[in-house]
Amino acid sequence: MTSLEHPGGPHPAAAARRARAAVAALFFTNGAVFASVVPRYPDVKEQLDLSNAALGAAVSAFWLGALLVGFGGGLVVKRWGSGRVATAVTLGACANLVVVGLAGSWWSLAAALFVAGSLDTVADIAENAHALRVERLYRRSILNSLHAVWSIGAVTGGVIGSAAAGGDVPLPVHFAIVAGVLALLASAASRFLLAGADDRPAVPVVRPGRAPAVARRWRLGAGILALGGVATLAQGIEDSGATWSGVYLREGLGAAPAVGGLAFAALQTMQTLGRLVGDRLVTRWGDPRVAGAGAALAGVAVGAALAFPSPVGTIAAFGAAGLGIATMIPAAMRGADALPGLSAGVGLSLVGSVSRIGSLLAPPMIGALADAYSVRTGLLVVPVAALLLVVLSRTLDRRP
């Protein structure tokens, strides 16, 4: 028991509020760091004289780093604690942002993005582990609102990046200013994170003699795969809006270029709003009910928009999908943290790794269907994923 949780220590409510604000600042920073780079990819491409394929290969190094390092991220959190690790890797990500801006060749860019992905995945594990520790002090759901802060950070970074691109601000100057501000924010927030070890309440596996060790390991593995499946399918629906909704609107429905990005904007906006209100719903109804209802909403909305195609209907459908999936990744993270027999952060690492593998496979699958048939046919993956989510939502932690 830490001093923050001891009856003789500081007032628990005040300590919890400070820690919540601090971890929210880290979520914001994590969302803003890499989102600052995305609008500058055309400038990076031009500066290094890269082909489209070369740029795509360099960007894939980010996801390769996230996947490879993600397997061991939980062990790092277990060894040094979520608060220390979250702060250290966030500051490292800020410093690496400057390195991305200074990249002078394809190899240096790919290496910097590999490091960015590696730091991002460890930050994700550590921040979620610490957020769930704060959530236990609150004794109600707060994780959804923290993920909403991440979304706000990503939007903020993207807007600043777009403005910097429009103003022809040099890449090193832009990234150095953003990195400096975010590093100061993370450093200030670190003072208010919870001290001590990331202990969790004991989660019983089974009663003694009830099941052999092999059976327990199989059940644990099935839980990891199920929770990873929830995160993968939810992320896949989000990525379908990011990657394919604009193509479908413009090429499939003949929408104007200015309309092409509205479906993804609707998805992101409604997802953020859903996360802001999701904690109250989860506290009252539990993750399985909220996630199951959200999955049904996403599947019905996108399915109807594909059956009766129109630009307005498609934009509204992806907005509904964003609202429907809003609480699912936080729910998978909460379930991962509650897996029996695993230290804090290890379950998050394993479930996150399953999700990243699935996220690497989903975009090529939709692309192959789009090439073979049409983008509209490829987007049928969304209602199918939603149906699977309705089933998998039953595996989520039922405790509010």
Q: Is residue 294's pLDDT more than 90?
A: yes
Q: Is residue 395's pLDDT more than 70?
A: yes
Give the burial string for 329-349 (b: 16+ CB within 10 Å, else e): bbbbbbbbbbbeebbbbbbbb
Considering only residues 162 and 22, tell me which one the structure prediction assigns the higher pLDDT: 22
Identical fold at 12-190 and 213-395?
yes
Residues with Cβ < 8 Å from 221, sequence gap 6 or more? none
Is CATH 1.10.150.120 the classification given to domain 12-190? no
At the top level of CATH, the class of 213-395 is mainly alpha
Distance in angstroms (rounded) separating the CA atoms of residues 313 and 220: 41
Q: What is the mean pLDDT of residues 40-50?
A: 87
Cα-trace Rg, the chain: 21
Confidence at residue 336, expressed as pLDDT on a 0 to 100 scale: 85
Considering only residues 389 and 337, tell me which one the structure prediction assigns the higher pLDDT: 389
pLDDT digits (tens, 9 = 90+) for 199-212: 665 454 444 455 56
Q: What is the mean pLDDT of residues 80-93?
A: 94
Rounded to whole angstroms, the maximal C-alpha distance in the chain is 68
Distance in angstroms (rounded) separating the CA atoms of residues 174 and 102: 11
Using a pLDDT cut of 90, give the percent of the chain over it: 47
Distance in angstroms (rounded) separating the CA atoms of residues 223 and 84: 28
Q: Tell me how far CA of residue 342 lies from CA of 66, 74, 211, 217, 335, in angstroms.
A: 21, 10, 18, 11, 12
Nearest to 238 by CA among 392, 78, 386, 387: 386
**Residue 309 burial by CB count (10 A; 0-12/13-18/19+): exposed, middle or buried?**
middle
Name the pTM for this structure: 0.80
Q: Tell me how far CA of residue 339 lies from CA of 173, 326, 348, in angstroms.
A: 44, 22, 9
Considering only residues 11 and 256, tell me which one the structure prediction assigns the higher pLDDT: 256
Confidence at residue 1, expressed as pLDDT on a 0 to 100 scale: 38
Question: Would you say how long the chain is, in residues?
Answer: 400
Distance in angstroms (rounded) separating the CA atoms of residues 230 and 282: 16
Domain ranges of the chain: 12-190, 213-395
pLDDT digits (tens, 9 = 90+) for 298-319: 999 999 999 999 999 999 999 9
Residues with Cβ < 8 Å from 326, sequence gap 6 or more? 144, 270, 271, 272, 273, 274, 275, 278, 294
Work out the pLDDT band at 158, boundaries 50, 70, 90: confident
DSSP 73-96: HHHHHHHH-HHHHHHHHHHHHHHH
Work out the pLDDT band at 252, boundaries 50, 70, 90: confident
Confidence at residue 8, expressed as pLDDT on a 0 to 100 scale: 38
Q: What is the mean pLDDT of residues 362-369?
A: 76
Distance of CA 315 to the CA centre of its chain: 22
Distance of CA 295 to the CA centre of its chain: 17
Considering only residues 231 and 211, tell me which one the structure prediction assigns the higher pLDDT: 231
Work out the pLDDT band at 344, boundaries 50, 70, 90: low
- Which element (helix H / strand E) includes 137? helix 106-138
